[in-house]
Structure 1
């Protein structure tokens, strides 16, 4: 990855890190405050869902502002709105008021995510996309670790102090975006990408983002509730949540690098299987906190890596002009999954107990693994282009190229040519018309009954 690319990504990643400290802190803080106020799990679930409803609304509307005023000014608008909603939450504790404020905060937060994701996708290519999005998630989850650790530090300072700190962090996150970058990514004419076309384009990416929303919302909203009812103190809950986020942070880059070098669908299958196995393992753990912390570390690494790999898979199949709209659509799908997660899982927890959280996560991981396997059987990963085999120079005009069966098959797979079983390769050598001969050009033609495909291949 070039230094120029990292320099271009520094401002959005640093801004995300500062804002993410408060955002990760806030999710756990709201759950604990409502539980301490005597609110039921259903009320806590709906207040948590309000944030994700706002994410879904923002994912539909926020791209218009981004395309109109650009990345930097759009980020400043959204981050300022996040700060306002958080500070208002510190003024009074009413579930209905928090529902409205969390909805507005979710709308603004998804705008921040849209700015940063579209910035990174526009600035990168396929070869480094997985690693760059992994750095994006590392910044987000590293901020989450710091935010969870702040839970115990600010708990004794007063009820309004944590909300003041979070609001100040949201305002501070504007500075890197406003000061550091000399240029921002060029926003060209955005191609429309309606939901049905996005689903047809990449069903795997859509399902991966939807499943990621279900899993991460459950972890942020309901895992603190499970830990507190299991007997952990407030500071211990913060530490356990920090372990979850730390696992997601540390495993992001290895998994992203792995997905850049291998079939992303296979990576998604293995992530689903790992999440299912880890969730089932957490059900039969003995009471040692260190064993639970180890399982939560791995669970965070698996569930939090699901979204960037799914987005990278989808971006590999999207046209260049549709990246902003694709990012918007996947954020919407992710927000829909996050919205549905607490209302779907809390009744299960009320019916079979708090361990219903891990049963739900295990079932989700198994379903995703099965779905990704089915999609991979329907649309296998394309084979890489077969390399040319140079032979020793035979003439002064250049090197002779050996056309092998592997070369022909690679060319067919690269061009997505269907049903060429009757094609006959024909090879001809074209000499330059003017000047001294400097190279020879080989034309490989595939002659079919109805189609004629040609691909020029140059030997230098």
Structure 2
């Protein structure tokens, strides 16, 4: 990857990292504050889902603003709106107000993601695009780790401190984008594909993106509630959430590399089975702090790896020129799954208790495994064909290709002698090197240079007279 490309990608990645630190623990702060105020899991789930509804709306609409005003100004607009909505949450502590503010905040946040993803996709070609997106995911998850660790510090100060710090970080994230020279990559207008068209093209990619939205949204919005009700202090909850995001960050690249070398559909099956087993282990094994942290680390690595592998599988089947449109469509599908996750899973927690969260994780993982196995049986992975080895064609064209530079030089020298003497030399027929015994009829000589023991063409001085380039005569 060139230095110029790294310099081009650094400002948006740095801005994402700064904004992601605050955004990484905002969902945890909201969940803990609502639970401390005595709100039910259903109310907490609906307030959390408002953010993901905003993500879905932004995935459909925000590209128009980006195309109208450009990357840098669009980023400044979206990040400023994120800061305003967070600061207002520190002033108004009502569930209905937080629902509306989280809706607007989700709409603005997905605008930030759209700016950065389109910037990176347009900056590099297919040879480096995977590495750029890997840096994008690592920046996002690393920010989430720092954000969760910051949770205990800001919540210990009480009041609106957490919302003020998050708003400050959102405002500061504009600086890397605003201070670079006014140069940004060009991007063509690309409307997202319809969900029906996406399902037709890649059912596995759509279901993987949808299932990832369900699982990741539950991790961010409902896992802190589970941890708090198990008796953990706020700072320990932040540490546990940091462990989850750390697992997502550290296991992201190995899983992605694994999916590059194997059938991605098979990788998705194994990820779903892995998430199911980890969820059952949390339910059935006697828990202590270290074992819980280790299982949450693995769960984060599995849950957060589901989306990029599903997108990679869909990109493998994307029509020419539809990669960006497919990415936007899958982002919309993922946002829809995220919006539906808290309202669907929080009633399970009310019915089965706090452990219902991991029963839901296990059930979702098992459903994804069944769906991926079914799709693999319907559409197996393509079998690579035998490698192609070039050889000289056994045809008239092959005879033309067999004429070497030495043969051509010999023919030119002979024609030069002919021009000087004015005499027409007698044409001699070359003896065959490959084929039947000599006969009275002229014939074409074929050479098969794919065999080590194949005969070689005669030297230049033995070349027959009258050879013309492309004549097919030997």
TM range (shorter): 0.7 to 0.9
Partner of 1:333: 333
Aligned CA distance change for structure 1 residues 358 and 307 (closer, same or farther; 3 Å) = same
Higher-Rg structure is: 2
What pairs with 1:358-373 in structure 2 (closer than 5 Å)?
358-373=358-373
1:384-436 deviations in Å (ceiling 9; x for gaps): 4644336xxxxxxxxx3599xxxxxxxxxxxxxxxxxxxxxx9964848x996
Is residue 35 from structure 1 mapped to residue 39 from structure 2 by the alignment?
no
* Residue correspondences, number: 409
Counterpart-to-counterpart distance in 1, 2:155 and 2:6: 37
Q: For the Cα contact (< 8 Å) 1:70–1:187, is it kept in 2? A: no
For normalisation by structure 1, the TM-score amounts to 0.82
1:120-144, CA deviations, whole angstroms, 9 ceiling, x for partnerless residues?
Answer: 3334455554443332221111111
1:272 aligns with 2:278: no
8 Å CA contact 2:78, 2:108 repeated in 1:
yes
Change (3 A) 1:67 1:376: farther
2:313 and 2:124 map into 1 onto residues whose CA distance is 14
Q: 2:258 & 2:384 partners in 1: Cα distance? A: 16
The separation in 2 between residues aligned to 1:133 and 1:110, in whole angstroms, is 16
Is 1:283 the equivalent of 2:283?
A: yes
Q: Alpha-carbon deviation of 1:67?
A: 2.4
User: Displacement, 1:6?
Assistant: 3.7
Give matches, 1:32-431, under 5 Å. Answer: 32-126=32-126, 128-180=128-180, 183-190=183-190, 193-319=193-319, 321-384=321-384, 386-389=386-389, 400=391, 429=398, 431=400
CA contact (8 A) 1:8 1:181 kept: no
Contact 1:131 1:253 in 2 (8 A): no
Instruction: Provide the rounded CA distance (Å) in 1 between the counterparts of 2:241 and 2:191.
Output: 40
Answer whether contact 1:189 1:321 (CA < 8 A) is retained. Answer: no
RMSD: 2.7
1:80 Cα deviation from its structure 2 partner? 1.1
For 1:303 and 1:387, the matched residues in 2 are separated by: 37
Q: Quick check: 56-65 or 213-222, which moved more? A: 56-65
State the SS of the aligned residue for 1:354: coil
Change (3 A) 1:127 1:176: same
CA contact (8 A) 1:133 1:256 kept: no
C-alpha separation in 2, matches of 1:192 and 1:39: 37
Q: CA deviation at 1:361?
A: 0.5
Deviation larger for 96-105 or 186-195? 186-195
Q: Check whether the contact 1:122–1:323 (CA below 8 A) recurs between aligned residues.
A: no
For the residues of structure 1 that align with 2:175 and 2:392, how far apart are their CA atoms? 56
Residue 11 of structure 1 deviates from its aligned partner by 2.3
1:371–1:7 CA distance, 2 compared to 1 (3 A): farther
Q: Quick one: distance in 1 between partners of 2:202 and 2:358?
A: 29
Query: Matched residues in 2 for 1:291 and 1:225: separation?
Result: 19
How far apart are the structure 2 equivalents of 1:115 and 1:185? 11
**Tell me, what secondary structure is at the counterpart of 2:103?**
helix
Higher strand share: 1
TM-score normalised by structure 2 residue count: 0.80
1:234 Cα offset (Å): 0.6
Distance between the aligned counterparts of 2:183 and 2:362, measured in 1?
44
Mapped contact 2:392–2:398 kept (Cα < 8 A): no
Q: Residues of 2 paired with 1:373 and 1:59: CA distance?
A: 30
Tell me what 1:456 maps to. Answer: none
